[in-house]
Structure 1
Amino acid sequence: MTPQRHAYIIGSGIGSLAAATFMIRDGGMAGDAITIFETQPVPGGSLDGSGTAEGGYSMRGGRMLTTDNYECTWELYKTIPSLTDPAVTVYEETVAFNTPVTAHSQARLIDRNRAIVDVTTMGFDMSDRVELLKLTETSEEKLGDSPITDWLSPQFFETNFWFMWQTTFAFQPWHSAIEFRRYLHRFMKEFSRIETLEGVKRTVYNQNDSLVKPLVAWLTSKGVQFRCNTTVTDMTVETRDGQLTVSGLTVRTDNKDSVVAVDKDDLVILQNASMTDASSIGSMTVAPEKRTKADSMGWVLWERLCEGRPEFGNPAAFNSSIAESNWPSFTVTLHDAVFFNRMESLSGNKAGTGGLVTFRDSNWRLSIVLAHQPHFANQPTDVQVFWGYALHGDRIGDFVAKPMADCSGEDILQELCGHLNFDKADVFASANCIPCRMPYITSMFMPRAPGDRPQPIPVNSRNLGLVSQFVEIPEDVVFTVEFSIRVAQIVVYQMLGIEKKIPPVSRHDTSLKVKFDALVKAFQ
């Protein structure tokens, strides 16, 4: 009798959860043959979201979703039942939720005078248009490891377009020109509606409740074993017949180490690094602790794997400059409707119909978003929650005399009220603001050379695949749920020899209409 093949998945981010799902759904593997190891107490990775009305809700962030681009994501969720109504899928639930109301931001940018900025024009002059077109059409080979600033003049970074595109996708001028170019192509359909965010789709709740928990429930029902509060600290890698083979995992639970033997036909999938590695949470009175990779195990396995094996990539390209890859976020829990009412009056958008509101002249480059309420599945009807973030958390505030990275929740609310000219005692009398610091949140955007990102299954790897934001897929873009799920599908299909076709990347950038619409927008 042939022994049952097992799969060991290290990390429980959305890519890992998707990989386990594809193994069962398309690969025919038994769920009880799959084990997922997770350092945190609950699965979900960077798509977190937790808390209570009394203690305050917290989530590190969310990801933009579109129905025009996320091919692998929606193909997956067309087969996963909703937790609120098992008769419909998560995909059907999400489409129905977005059908009554199309997003249409009326206050995408607000200036220092609390006036809504006219964003019907992108703010380009002819040199901006020429430079942007040149960057878009330059090959990745020529762009190399150059930053965006090598291709665009300083004035470009003061245009309406940059403020909106930057804060929608979290780019910095020093980030990778290649990644910026990929975004321009992948989301060219969004270029012509970037000021309204009409292409953005929302999940019913935060993405942990709406995307992660349904997958976890489905996998659990199939017998998948989740080993949380457990860290894989090392892998035994051998060379067999010229191929690198993982033969064992060192696993730490409750400060006790054990070894999991990996048989020759077993599979191992590693989530190599995490954008939320070493993140920390503060409170209304305390700023988040400043951590580095020395404070966690997030990069260790990948770094060890790469020693003497260049085909497994180069982590140092992404984790060597916290100053260039970090920013803080915050989640605010309210027990009255005063702030939401004031914001809805100012912006002209009911909560859930607008999107990011960016304070254009903020030293912190501060943005907030009021989602449809409730935003958490366990959120009472008399409680409201909103989220915000800042791209320049190392700069002194306009109304608080310290960097956002050094701020408590109380300080952040003071700064926000300054930009809105709101009375803090009035609008935030019942507020609980929980700040979060994420030192590597945009590390995957750092300039990179060919080979810095490994292939999903590196050359000569016999039984090890990589699922993360730090692998290479031509044409697709990182910092998206879609990227993680597409990588998972590629790895599983290749490992298990599945012949089913993976949904191709939608090439909206080849559509004459999309190109024409983008051209018209560039000249407005």
Structure 2
Amino acid sequence: MEATTERHHIVGGGIAGLATAVFLLRDAGVDGAAIHVYEQLGTAGGSLDGSGDGEDGYLVRGGRMFEEHFACTFDLLGSIPSADDPATSAAQDIFAFNRMVPGSANCRIVRDGKPAEDRFDLTLTAQDIVDINRLILHREGSLGNQTIEDWFQPNFLDSNFWLMWSTMFSFQPWHSVVEMRRYLRRFIHLFPGFTRIAGILRTRYNQYDSLIAPIVSWLRDRGVQIVTGTQVVDVRIEGTRQDRRVSALAFASGEEIPVAETDKVYLTLGSMTDASVTGTNDRAPSRDDHEGGAWTLWRKLAAEHEGFGRPEVFCSETDKTAWHSFTVTLDSPDFFEFMEDFTGNRTGTGGLVTFADSGWTLSIVLFHQPHFRGQKHGTYVFWGYGLRGDRPGDFTAKPMWEATGDEILTELFGHMGLTPEQQGWFKTARVIPCRMPFITSQFMPRQPGDRPDTRPSGASNFAIIGQFCELPRDCVFTVEYSVRSARAAVASLTGRITPPPPVARTDLDPKVLFNAARVLMGM
């Protein structure tokens, strides 16, 4: 066990920062008291959140999906006791829950107020199929900063494949075709269940209760210092590009902590949920998009030091990176029972339902209940989002970005074809809309060098973690990407743990490729 005089400073208490702390303590032999996590928000967890209560309404800004090949994530969670049973790991709980509540959607797409007749048809043309295969086989380095709409024919964006793909992963036509290629290759084994969202794993509760709270408890029980409400505003770096080190961390409070030569620093740069703002039933979220601390810090470091990437590539156009989600808290099961009949899915087994006629590209998902630990019996929570909140609605005549919670419900009622009596189910509904200006920022078109390496050139005692560092083959907007970055950083800086295992290459499995080809061709 190393002496506690060597300290490890982790900037950012999201899943990347917390995973870094776990790997340091569990695998690298670092004493918990030598690990310090600094989080600018009032609670740890970053984008894996869940808050509120039954009285004022629950809030989930979004949720990340899991699948069985997330090797780093399940390795991490294999050591963390689950929320309900200390004898069961968080990883075991995820698999057990998905065996109990298996997901397979019978109603992925709704048109004209009813399940679409072609909801299991990808409606791809022969040229679309050629273009998908051509992209899968294309060398990433030669794609540059092309967009998805640069690569595909215009009619591709009208296909069911694109509707399901874009809403499942939150891709926009102007996003990076490099990232789409990575997704196609990374998740090609899921193609046979694509139209039903089969093969996707979910957590028992919201991801704060199921993942973050157990990790935080495990770390604090072992002496790790997790300090919330503390923003790092500057990282002092000394030396040359060939040999440089962090010498101090400066905080918004005015405090400055010296960093010794033997100390290690792990920096989370950027954040997909930075500067999130919420609204209410009668107030839309503010559109005054200010960059939060995670982006401000990255911009400062990139302006002053080489090798820190180009944050402006990702955070400069919020009209292309924002969408609004909404969380609805209900006091009766009526809508949930209606949706079970409507979709043919038991609550929690169906996944995302997308309204194809919606100008907002509106989608909702009814979670398995309770979705929050401590959620009272008789209280129900569901979530939704609008991928194209910049466009006018069909029943509110305004962009979703300007809509109140009640106006979002009006839009939902219209696309569901709910009668006035059925709309009465929502009389006491608490609706919390949430604007996330940078939620898809990691998908913006990029080129080599726009994202820094996990270990920048010459970095003797610091590394980069999170969604905005460069990792070969893996996909951003996943928990796995953040956890993989944490393991890579700890392995590189300490030399006491093995690097992350290679990304699963199911795209090299002939059987997987054959099955994917059959799906694309509608066989």
Q: Which residue of 2 aligns with 1:434?
A: 432
Aligned AA for 1:517? N
Identical counterparts, % of pairs: 44
Shift of the alpha carbon at 1:499? 4.2
Shift of the alpha carbon at 1:2? 6.8
User: Could you tell me how far apart the structure 1 residues matched to 2:204 and 2:320 are?
Assistant: 33
Q: 1:341-490 to 2 correspondence within 5 Å?
A: 341-423=337-419, 425-490=423-488
User: Could you tell me how far apart the structure 2 residues matched to 1:401 and 1:241 are?
Assistant: 54
Q: Which residue of 2 aligns with 1:84?
A: 84
Paired positions, count? 519
User: Could you tell me how far apart the structure 1 residues matched to 2:368 and 2:431 are?
Assistant: 18
User: Could you tell me how far apart the structure 1 residues matched to 2:497 and 2:35 are?
Assistant: 21
Choose 119-128 or 312-321, whichever is displaced more. 119-128
Q: 1:73-222 to 2 correspondence within 5 Å?
A: 73-222=73-222
Aligned AA for 1:14? I
1:303 and 2:303 matched: no
Three-state SS of the structure 1 residue aligned to 2:134 is helix
User: Could you tell me how far apart the structure 2 residues matched to 1:405 and 1:241 are?
Assistant: 43
In the TM superposition, structure 1's runs of 4+ consecutive aligned residues that sit over 3 Å from their partners are: none
CA contact (8 A) 1:279 1:291 kept: no
1:336 and 2:332 matched: yes
1:25 and 2:26 matched: yes
Shift of the alpha carbon at 1:98? 1.0
Q: Which residue of 2 aligns with 1:518?
A: 516
1:266 and 2:263 matched: yes
Three-state SS of the structure 2 residue aligned to 1:386 is strand
User: Could you tell me how far apart the structure 2 residues matched to 1:411 and 1:504 are?
Assistant: 46
Q: Which residue of 2 aligns with 1:257?
A: 254
Q: Pick from 293, 299, 305: which aligns with 2:290? A: 293
Choose 31-40 or 3-12, whichever is displaced more. 3-12
CA contact (8 A) 1:336 1:430 kept: no
Q: Pick from 264, 281, 284: which aligns with 1:284? A: 281
User: Could you tell me how far apart the structure 1 residues matched to 2:149 and 2:440 are?
Assistant: 17
List gaps (5 residues or longer) in structure 1.
none
Q: Which residue of 2 aligns with 1:248?
A: 248
CA contact (8 A) 2:3 2:31 kept: no
User: Could you tell me how far apart the structure 1 residues matched to 2:160 and 2:464 are?
Assistant: 38
1:36 and 2:33 matched: no
Choose 422-431 or 401-410, whichever is displaced more. 422-431
Shift of the alpha carbon at 1:498? 2.1
User: Could you tell me how far apart the structure 2 residues matched to 1:439 and 1:245 are?
Assistant: 32
Three-state SS of the structure 1 residue aligned to 2:63 is coil
Aligned AA for 1:6? R
Aligned AA for 2:335? F
Three-state SS of the structure 2 residue aligned to 1:307 is helix
User: Could you tell me how far apart the structure 2 residues matched to 1:306 and 1:241 are?
Assistant: 13
TM-score normalised by structure 1 residue count: 0.97
CA contact (8 A) 2:241 2:457 kept: no
Q: Deviations over 1:442-467 (max 9, x none)?
A: 00000001100111111111111111
Aligned AA for 1:489? R
Aligned AA for 1:405? W
1:495 and 2:496 matched: no
Three-state SS of the structure 2 residue aligned to 1:230 is coil
User: Could you tell me how far apart the structure 2 residues matched to 1:499 and 1:470 are?
Assistant: 23
User: Could you tell me how far apart the structure 1 residues matched to 2:393 and 2:254 are?
Assistant: 46
CA contact (8 A) 2:245 2:462 kept: yes
Three-state SS of the structure 1 residue aligned to 2:435 is strand
Q: Deviations over 1:364-390 (max 9, x none)?
A: 000000010000012111100000001
The alignment's C-alpha RMSD in Å is 1.4
Shift of the alpha carbon at 1:232? 0.8
Three-state SS of the structure 1 residue aligned to 2:238 is strand
User: Could you tell me how far apart the structure 1 residues matched to 2:225 and 2:399 are?
Assistant: 43
Residue 2 and residue 131 in structure 1: after superposition, are their counterparts in 2 closer, same or farther (change >3 A)? closer
Q: Deviations over 1:113-171 (max 9, x none)?
A: 43334233211111111111112211112211110111100100111111111111000
Q: Deviations over 1:325-352 (max 9, x none)?
A: 0000000000001111111111111111
CA contact (8 A) 2:240 2:458 kept: no
Aligned AA for 2:435? R
Three-state SS of the structure 1 residue aligned to 2:231 is strand
User: Could you tell me how far apart the structure 2 residues matched to 1:503 and 1:8 are?
Assistant: 25
Aligned AA for 2:34? A
Q: Which residue of 2 aligns with 1:225?
A: 225
Three-state SS of the structure 1 residue aligned to 2:348 is coil
Residue 162 and residue 3 in structure 1: after superposition, are their counterparts in 2 closer, same or farther (change >3 A)? closer
TM-score normalised by structure 2 residue count: 0.97
User: Could you tell me how far apart the structure 2 residues matched to 1:59 and 1:490 are?
Assistant: 29
Shift of the alpha carbon at 1:308? 4.7
CA contact (8 A) 2:33 2:223 kept: yes
